[in-house]
């Protein structure tokens, strides 16, 4: 019988020394009996491997049910549920991508949660109370997403680790870790309409592919105030209040426009 087929309570009874070791170390990784990630929740040996890795990297499991790339780079996610890079509910039905899907604007193809099987068995980790890593352990990684992840790892302050031999989850999965690796310098964008130069308050439109901005007056004049983006999924235009557009642009300008590390050092 494979270990995965043995009930966890039986594993605990039959391996008292390992159980004692795991129980003694779990708190150091911020884990309780109720918070073991999937895979470790029903496998004592997976718990042991997880703790070896987490404690060895001085990490604690983040108690965050929803997650996204915004969290890792220190941007307040425009969507309170962290289910997309969405502004005011418009993207939820289009791209539940946890901040990854829109990276295609930067030539980084990572898809979204509806199409990307690499976003599997995801866990978040902190170090010293700050975001440290997003870990995914998918059953394989296609060339397109592998290339996209490696490109993401060239952004200043980020590092991507891929190991086809797998990690603590095991089961033939591939290890993918996106690390905060140094300082992430977020820009401070100013909202100026690219058509009329206005800096007015109220609703704004931003093109998520080009970052072109339109104030409400110009958006009306150009017909951008028609059907909402959820009704025309191919539209690159997003509408939100000034503060929310600013939040989105902080993350977008870093992720899309920041130079690669080798370019930054030139």
- Give residue-wise pLDDT tens across range 153-166: 988 899 999 999 99
Q: Which comes out higher in pLDDT, residue 261 or 222? A: 222
Please tell me the predicted confidence (pLDDT) of residue 100. 73
Please tell me the predicted confidence (pLDDT) of residue 159. 95
Q: How far is CA 140 from CA 18, 118, 164, in A?
A: 30, 7, 8
Please tell me the predicted confidence (pLDDT) of residue 81. 40
Angle, CA 142 vertex, CA 141 and CA 147 arms, to 5°: 95
Whether residue 103 has pLDDT greater than 80: no
- Give residue-wise pLDDT tens across range 180-222: 998 888 888 889 999 999 998 888 988 877 889 999 999 999 9
State how far the Cα of 147 lies from the Cα of 218, in Å rounded to an integer: 38
Please tell me the predicted confidence (pLDDT) of residue 113. 52
Whether residue 110 has pLDDT greater than 60: yes
- Give residue-wise pLDDT tens across range 53-65: 999 999 999 987 6
Whether residue 20 has pLDDT greater than 80: yes
How high is the mean pLDDT of the chain? Answer: 81
Please tell me the predicted confidence (pLDDT) of residue 75. 73
Q: Which residues contact 119 (CB under 8 A, 6 or more apart)?
A: 98, 100, 113, 136, 138
Whether residue 266 has pLDDT greater than 50: no
Q: Which comes out higher in pLDDT, residue 55 or 2? A: 55
Please tell me the predicted confidence (pLDDT) of residue 85. 38
Please tell me the predicted confidence (pLDDT) of residue 93. 36
- Give residue-wise pLDDT tens across range 24-44: 999 999 999 999 999 999 999
Average pLDDT over residues 120-135: 93
Calculate what percentage of the chain has a pLDDT beyond 90.
45
Whether residue 86 has pLDDT greater than 50: no
Please tell me the predicted confidence (pLDDT) of residue 108. 78
Whether residue 263 has pLDDT greater than 70: no
């Amino acid at each position: 019988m494979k270990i995965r087929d043995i009930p966890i309570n039986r594993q605990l009874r039959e391996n008292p020394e390992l159980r004692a070791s795991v129980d003694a170390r779990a708190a150091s990784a911020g884990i309780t009996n109720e918070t073991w990630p999937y895979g470790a929740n029903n496998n004592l040996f997976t718990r042991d491997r997880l703790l070896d890795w987490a404690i060895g990297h001085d990490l604690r499991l983040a108690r965050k049910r929803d997650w996204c790339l915004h969290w890792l780079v220190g941007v307040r996610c425009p969507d309170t549920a962290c289910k997309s890079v969405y502004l005011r509910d418009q993207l939820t039905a289009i791209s539940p991508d946890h901040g990854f899907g829109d990276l295609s604007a930067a030539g980084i193809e990572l898809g979204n949660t509806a199409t990307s099987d690499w976003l599997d068995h995801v866990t978040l980790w902190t170090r010293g109370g700050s975001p440290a890593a997003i870990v995914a352990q998918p059953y394989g990684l296609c060339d397109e997403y592998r290339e996209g992840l490696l490109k993401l790892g060239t952004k200043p302050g980020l590092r991507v680790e891929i190991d086809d031999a797998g990690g603590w989850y095991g089961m033939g999965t591939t290890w993918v870790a996106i690390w905060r690796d140094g300082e992430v310098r977020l820009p401070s964008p100013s909202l100026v309409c690219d058509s009329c130069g206005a800096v007015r308050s109220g609703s704004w439109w931003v093109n998520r592919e080009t970052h072109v901005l339109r104030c409400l007056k110009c958006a009306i004049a150009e017909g951008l105030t028609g059907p909402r983006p959820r009704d025309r999924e191919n539209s690159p235009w997003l509408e939100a209040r000034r503060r929310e557009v600013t939040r989105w642009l902080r993350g977008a300008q870093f992720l899309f426009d920041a130079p690669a590390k080798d370019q930054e050092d030139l």
